[in-house]
Structure 1
Amino acid sequence: MSARWKSPSWFAITLLCAGLALFCTLGTWQLKRAHEKETLLASFSGAAAQPTLTLAEARRTTADAVHHPHVRVEGRFDARHAYLLDDQVRDARRGVIAFALFEPVDGSLPILVNRGFVAREGASAPALPPLPEGDLVVSGLYAPPPGSGLRLGGNALPNQAGPTKSTIYIDLGEIGEDAGRRIDTSVLLLDAEPGSGFERTWTPQILPPERHRGYALQWFSFAIAAIVIFIVLHRRRTPPR
């Protein structure tokens, strides 16, 4: 038997072209996302070794998903406003991430400081190291706030009393309302400090670049499969004469 080509309809050609455009666009987008994630991870790993900037200089650069200036700022912690981000997991251990407001000595906007992770011991609340008192200098990465994910139950801060309040997401607007003043739209991820009582490993919780490359391979495979199916459907076999 011999093979003969069957002329495809315009609908089939249009469908093939649309499918190839879609699959190749999605595959290219996944490769772009993989590159962005690599840049983000490199930014986190190398930012702490950069020379420090003042908070005013960092605010002019504006922290985003890729750039995280290394900041050094003088001021004092506001002992009246501290927050615990609950239900956090690090290396299969549950615990909290402690936040506190820091007031720069120059009188500029207060900034929310991420003090680090503390694991729970059983069901009881973890014992947190006390906030340092008086004027001091802190340094860390000037970064966007953590993502809030799925928000359930509304704003829990107004229903709590005391200087330390618990929440399952960080909303800088709600924290500013709770503190009674406007605060910085970014946060400060404190540098690691032996003996601080906190774990400070600042690695973004994201899909790794390898996962995005795997998705890209799937989309490009779909494009190849579409071409193969198109050829098979329009290739007719004719009996020998």
Structure 2
Amino acid sequence: MMRKHTRLIGWAAAVVVIIGFCQLGRWQLQRMHEKQALLDQQLPARAQTLGLADAQAAPPQLRWVEDHGSFLPGTLLLDNQTREGRAGIKVYQPFRSDGGAVVLVDLGWLPMPADRTLPTITPRDGAARIAGLLAPPPATGIALGLALAPAPQPGVWLANRMPPGEVAATLSLPPRSLRSAVLRLDPALPGGYARDLDLLPNTMPPSRHLGYAVQWFALALTVLIVALILEWRSRRRSPR
């Protein structure tokens, strides 16, 4: 009786572990498909140019935007952004088009020194023409601590993440005026800092997610095989 009870507990534990590994594998596959779908949108997005307001009103996907307007006061420095293996920050500034649409513009990347002294930022101001890719913001990891903290330089905030509502309130923008998508400024335009149109900075490519999914499913299969072997051995040892 005790042996049968132990076997049931063992199988219950094995089933729980197998289901957990399979769920992790499914999650990795889901992330792979999401990222591949994003990459697949990049070329079609360049084929059609929209104004900022039209791009924001369209269904959420990559859009190539060209518009005219003015940069607004306030600068965000998004922390924990890597480029070519170096740690740094991304510089964002709000922009309002002549049609009234508002977006955070990615002005580029700056290195963060070892002592984490924030660089002095020269904000953009006045009328400007923008062009770039309207895209999701960079990945920022687990949401811990404050989203925004004031930097020593007036009008500059260090950001761990950029929730649109909090950013709008911090930058004294009208409520709900900001969307989650940001404008990845065309690297060919003058001004700003080091930048590109890489859609998956600081994150894994689809192929890496596939590799991890295979590993999780393989672990689930391994647990099942081990459980079957143990069950077979237990039955052989049981008195007939």
With the shorter chain as reference, the TM-score category is 0.7 to 0.9
Structure 2 CA distance for aligned equivalents of residues 132 and 35 of structure 1: 39
| Alignment partner, residue 5 of structure 1 | none
Going from structure 1 to structure 2, the CA distance change for 1:166 and 1:22 (only over 3 Å counts) comes to closer
2:64 aligns with: 70
Q: Name the SS of the counterpart of 1:111 in structure 2.
A: strand
Q: What TM-score comes out, normalization by structure 1 length?
A: 0.72
| Alignment-derived partner of residue 168 in structure 1 | 159
Q: Give SS of 1:229's match.
A: helix
Larger relative contact order, structure 1 or 2 (CA cutoff 8 Å, min sep 6) = 1
Is the partner of 1:114 in helix, strand or coil?
A: strand
Could you tell me which of 38, 41, 46 is aligned with 2:43?
46
Deviations 1:122-150 (A, max 9, x none): 8665465652532x321111123344444
* 2:46–2:63 contact (8 Å) kept in structure 1: no
Q: Quick one: which amino acid aligns to residue 68 of structure 1?
A: L
Gaps of 5+ in 2: 1-5
The one-character-per-residue Cα deviations of 1:96-131 (angstroms, maximum 9, x if unpaired) are 32211111112x242211111133578665465652
Q: 1:214 to 1:96 in 2, by over 3 A?
A: closer
| 1:86/1:166 contact within 8 Å kept | no
- Number of matched pairs: 223
Alignment of 1:5-44 (within 5 A): 11=8, 15=12, 23-43=21-41
Asked if 1:139 is matched to 2:139, the reply is no
What is the deviation of 1:69?
0.9
Change in CA separation of 1:145 and 1:210 when aligned onto 2, cut-off 3 Å: closer
1:189 paired residue among 184, 187, 207:
184
Does structure 1 retain, via aligned residues, the 8 Å contact 2:52–2:101?
no
Distance 1:23 1:70, change over 3 A: same
Deviation at 1:53, TM superposition (A): 1.2
Q: Which residue of 2 aligns with 1:179?
A: 171
Change (3 A) 1:222 1:146: closer
Letter of the 1:193 counterpart: A
Give RMSD over aligned pairs. Answer: 3.6
Deviations 1:37-79 (A, max 9, x none): 2222343x5366332112222122243xxx211111211112x
Q: Which runs of 5+ in 1 are unaligned?
A: 1-8
Q: Which has the larger radius of gyration?
A: 1
8 Å CA contact 2:31, 2:206 repeated in 1: yes
Structure 1 residues 199 and 140 mapped into 2: Cα distance closer, same or farther (>3 Å)?
Answer: same
Decide which moves more: 186-195 or 147-156: 147-156
Shift of 1:190: 0.7
Alignment counterpart, residue 213 of structure 1, candidates 210, 213, 216:
210
Q: How far apart, CA to CA, are the structure 2 residues paired with 1:85 and 1:121?
A: 15
Relative to 1, partners in 2 of residues 1:84 and 1:114: Cα closer, same or farther, differing over 3 Å? same
TM-score under structure 2 length normalisation: 0.72
Deviation track 1:179-212 (CA, whole Å, cap 9, x = no partner) reads: 3222321321111126535222233222232332
The aligned runs of 1:87-236 (5 Å cut-off) are: 87-106=80-99, 108-119=100-111, 125-126=118-119, 128=121, 131=124, 133-134=126-127, 136-149=128-141, 150-153=143-146, 155-157=148-150, 162=154, 164-169=155-160, 170-182=162-174, 183-185=177-179, 186-193=181-188, 196-201=191-196, 202-204=198-200, 205-225=202-222, 226-234=224-232
Identity of aligned residues (%): 31
User: Could you say if the C-alpha distance between residues 200 and 223 of structure 1 is closer, same or farther in structure 2, counting changes exceeding 3 Å?
Assistant: same
Distance 1:155 1:213, change over 3 A: closer
Instruction: Give the direction of change, closer, same or farther, for the CA distance of 1:25–1:165 in structure 2 (3 Å limit).
Output: closer
